[in-house]
Amino acid sequence: MLHICVDAGVSVVPQGGNTGLVGGAVPRGAVVLDLRRLDTVEVDDVAGSVVAGAGATVGAVQVAARAAGLRYGVDLASRDTATIGGTIATNAAGLRAVRLGDTRAQLIDVEAVLTTGAVISRRGGLTRDNSGYDLPRWICGSEGTLAVVTAARLRLLPDPADRATALLGFADLPAAVAAAATLRREPAVEVLELMFAPGVALVCEQHGMSPPFASNPPVLLLVEVTAAADAGSLLGELVENVPGVADVAAGVDAADARRLWAYRELHTESIGRVGIPHKLDVALPLPALAGFVAEVTAELARLRPDARAWIFGHVGEGNLHLNVTGLDPADEDADDAVLRLVAAAGGSISAEHGIGRAKQRWLPLVRSAEEIAVWRAVKSAFDPTGTLNPGVLLPN
Ligand code: MLT
Ligand code: ZN
């Protein structure tokens, strides 16, 4: 199919679960290559890895891994729709990357088809192979611009028998960031998710949930630890020794833990019900994060007083999701102001969602002309006809 498109001069957009947030799989006069039917999942017990088709969902891989007493390191709220191919194309990170790494960290091998007709794959599945350029890791995060991922072999991890979840309340953001920095040093901690009171209140209002604390702390941190046994006591001890914790809600049983997770996982959907948000996904050095939030909030209030910024994210890695509602879809002034502040603070304009079409305009804030020239050379080595996903990631 690819060669027919190449011969006819037609562009191709590979598509998985369509959960991307930067328009990277949105076709513009192109053939859409839907990969969802390539959904096989085969756990290799001996190698401790899984071979999954590009169309298998992250959730299906998680279930298969668990059935074999193992687990897959990438987890995200869209787990039951997002596909392995899509998460490889975007190098998805998600909720546990602070400890377990992003998709690139799980990758052992990728089977991918080039527009030249070549198939790239080292099927043996060696986990240690240092014999030159690592093409699977180049393809990972290339947003469908280099090759069509058809399958992958992914590392699986031991499944800790026990886990415990808690929601912590803080009087202010610097206290929460300091706590996250302390907790990040603890090997058992694998989730550090930041929320603010207005986002949690919105989730409660939209989903008929009661608030986690009567005291309504302005800043909240969702923490999860895993351990071979007694994760609850371990989490209790850790939290006791972290300064600045004003409130604690412990997930005493599975239903409770699910409720604590829901405050975080329902953010995107709840904000979407307020209006179509401008979605910004930025990374800041941890020491700059609290100052950035104060600055960006003031700047948005000055620039667009009717807009509303909802902030949450993977604070263990300095990753903030800023969803701004109340803006005209075509009005990019607020986005521009935010991303310039991010760059000035030494941050990234895309922490995990990628560049796609939506963030391209700001790429020069964080990538030099020299870097982009090398990217172009790589692109033409993989895809000399420029058939795959034109207009995504690389400016045309
Ligand atoms: C999340 O972590 O929930 C998503 O990456 C964020 C978003 O929808 O902006
Ligand atoms: Zn995220």
Print burial letters for 363-393: b (CB count within 10 Å at least 16), e (below 16): bebbeeeeeeeebeeebeebbeebbbbbbbb
The rounded Å distance from CA 321 to ligand 1 centre is 6
- Write out the residue range of the structural domain in which residue 202 sits: 162-268
In a domain, 391, yes or no: no
Quick one: 123 and 192 in the same domain?
A: no
Q: Please name the residue whose Cα sits nearest to atom 8 of ligand 1.
A: 268
The last residue of a domain, from among 107, 141, 158: 158
**323: Cβ below 6 Å to ligand 1?**
yes
In a domain, 392, yes or no: no
**264: Cβ below 6 Å to ligand 1?**
no
For residue range 102-141, list pLDDT tens digits in order. 999 999 999 999 999 999 997 677 888 899 999 999 999 9
The last residue of a domain, from among 109, 141, 158: 158
Quick one: 87 and 180 in the same domain?
A: no
Residues 173 and 219 sit within 8 Å (Cβ to Cβ): yes
Quick one: 87 and 62 in the same domain?
A: yes
Quick one: 154 and 284 in the same domain?
A: no
Which of 19, 21, 320 should be mutated for ligand 1, with most atoms under 8 A from CB? 21
For residue range 356-377, list pLDDT tens digits in order. 999 999 999 999 999 999 999 9
Residues 242 and 236 sit within 8 Å (Cβ to Cβ): no
Quick one: 218 and 100 in the same domain?
A: no
Quick one: 153 and 26 in the same domain?
A: yes
Quick one: 11 and 152 in the same domain?
A: yes
pLDDT tier at 351 (50, 70, 90 boundaries)? very high
Residues 167 and 220 sit within 8 Å (Cβ to Cβ): yes
The rounded Å distance from CA 268 to ligand 1 centre is 6
In a domain, 388, yes or no: no
Quick one: 153 and 52 in the same domain?
A: yes
Helix pair 254-265, 197-207: axis angle to 10 deg: 110
The rounded Å distance from CA 45 to ligand 1 centre is 32
Ligand 1 atom closest to the CA of 277, numbered from 1? 9
More confident residue, 1 or 71: 71
**19: Cβ below 6 Å to ligand 1?**
no
For residue range 268-316, list pLDDT tens digits in order. 999 999 999 999 999 999 999 999 999 999 999 999 999 999 999 999 9
**268: Cβ below 6 Å to ligand 1?**
yes
Phi/psi class of residue 277: alpha, beta or left (left: φ > 0; alpha: ψ in -120 to 50)? beta
Number of domains in the chain: 3
Quick one: 150 and 175 in the same domain?
A: no
In a domain, 387, yes or no: no
Ligand 1 atom closest to the CA of 314, numbered from 1? 2
Res 123: pLDDT: 67
Domain at 301, CATH number: 3.30.70.2740
For residue range 4-17, list pLDDT tens digits in order. 999 999 999 999 99
Ligand 1 atom closest to the CA of 267, numbered from 1? 3
**278: Cβ below 6 Å to ligand 1?**
no
For residue range 151-160, list pLDDT tens digits in order. 999 999 999 9
The rounded Å distance from CA 120 to ligand 1 centre is 31
**304: Cβ below 6 Å to ligand 1?**
no
Ligand 1 atom closest to the CA of 265, numbered from 1? 3
Quick one: 32 and 177 in the same domain?
A: no
Mean pLDDT of 225-249: 96
In a domain, 395, yes or no: no
Closest to 360 (Cα-Cα) out of 199, 143, 215, 66: 143
**96: Cβ below 6 Å to ligand 1?**
no
What is the residue-averaged pLDDT of the chain? 96
Quick one: 240 and 318 in the same domain?
A: no
Domain at 230, CATH number: 3.30.70.2190
In a domain, 243, yes or no: yes
Q: Is the pLDDT of residue 215 over 90?
A: yes
The last residue of a domain, from among 158, 187, 213: 158
Quick one: 141 and 222 in the same domain?
A: no
Contacts of 81 (CB under 8 A, 6+ apart): 17, 18, 19, 57
Q: Tell me the helix, strand and coil percentages in the chain, rounded to 5.
A: 35, 25, 40
Ligand 1 atom closest to the CA of 95, numbered from 1? 2
In a domain, 221, yes or no: yes
Ligand 1 atom closest to the CA of 279, numbered from 1? 9
Domain at 36, CATH number: 3.30.465.10
Amino acid of residue 49: S
For residue range 163-198, list pLDDT tens digits in order. 999 999 999 999 999 999 999 999 999 999 999 999
Within a 10 A sphere around the Cβ of 174, how many other Cβ atoms? 16
For residue range 35-65, list pLDDT tens digits in order. 999 999 999 999 999 999 999 999 999 999 9
In a domain, 328, yes or no: yes
